[in-house]
Amino acid sequence: MLAGLLAGIFFVAMTPTVSQAVTKISFWHAMSGRRLPAVERIVNGFNAAHPDIKVEAQFMGKYKEVIAKTIAAVKAGKPPHIAQVYEVGFQTMYDSGAIIPVYKLFKPGEVDFGDVVWPIRDYYSVKGKLYSMPFNSSTAMLYYNKDLFRKAGLDPNRPPTTYKDLERIGKKLVESGVVPYGFSTGWPSWIFEQAHAYHNQYYANHQNGRKGRSTKVYFNKPFGVKYAKTMTRFSNEKVYIFGGREYSANKSFLAQQIAMLIQSTSSV
């Protein structure tokens, strides 16, 4: 996920550049803003520990731009050695034939991936073999304003843990006049997907693409319909307000127009 979604590192089939005994490796990424210093620390730390290797990190735009530029570079025969690609691009990179699967870079047992959360490791694996290195995997989490909770007479140490809680607390916040709306979310389609995962429901056919190529999203399956009806009810009650794409809803949260925000862990 840092920049909002589950992202992985793909190793593109290209020989590193060797210059004066220093191996140069190009790394294209999508980390900007407060996330950029984190990437720079990782890269600088690696370079300092390995003086014979120099990783050259380059910001290439948002996730969609990185994958588009990477594919274009592959076709032009000048790809980066490493590219950070979000989860939506996994199938594209897998189908491209231009990547080197991660599992082929290590001997069996040479690297212990046991500390990588299993669902994340599994997402980037094909038939049990790791194809992409998990890098900045995010999850959706609830942010809430304790001060606004206090003003509404709510316990600031008891945030909602269920959708019923969200509705109850959201109504209390709105009815008390503290905020015009209870909560919003970032990345709406991703939150819809996350809701399926949290409730152990398939988001797409063929078991989310694990048993065959996914061709449809389950908008009209029972859980998808229930989610849509729930969010529609929340909207009618002013418990929820659509906040726009990506990080747009963060502005409403910071401006205290809403008291709760479901957003990526990267917003911390």
SS3 217: strand
Report d(CA 240, CA 37) in Å as an integer. Answer: 34
Secondary structure string (H, E, C) spanning 112-131: CCCCCCHHHHHHCEECCEEC
Can you list the alpha helix ranges (DSSP code H) found in the chain? Answer: 35-49, 63-76, 90-96, 118-123, 146-151, 163-175, 188-198, 205-209, 222-236, 249-254
Residues in contact with 135: Cβ distance below 8 Å, sequence separation at least 6, in sequence order: 7, 8, 9, 84
pLDDT given at position 12:
72
The CATH classification of domain 7-134, taken from the options 3.40.50.300, 3.40.190.10, 3.90.870.10, 3.40.50.720: 3.40.190.10
Residues in contact with 245: Cβ distance below 8 Å, sequence separation at least 6, in sequence order: 187, 188
Report d(CA 229, CA 234) in Å as an integer. Answer: 9
Question: According to CATH, where is 3.40.190.10 located in the chain?
Answer: 7-134, 140-267
Other beta carbons less than 10 A from residue 79's beta carbon: 23
Per residue of the chain (268 residues), what is the pLDDT tens digit? 223 344 667 777 665 665 568 999 999 999 998 889 999 999 999 999 999 999 999 999 999 999 999 999 999 999 999 999 988 888 889 888 888 999 999 888 898 888 888 888 988 998 889 999 999 888 899 999 999 999 999 999 999 999 999 999 999 999 999 999 999 999 999 999 999 999 999 999 999 988 889 999 999 999 999 999 999 999 999 999 999 998 899 999 999 999 999 999 888 7
pLDDT given at position 2:
29
pLDDT given at position 234:
99
SS3 11: strand
∠ at Cα 264 (258, 266), nearest 5°?
110
**140-267 falls under which CATH superfamily?**
Periplasmic binding protein-like II (3.40.190.10)
pLDDT given at position 114:
82
pLDDT given at position 1:
29
pLDDT given at position 186:
96
pTM for this predicted structure = 0.82
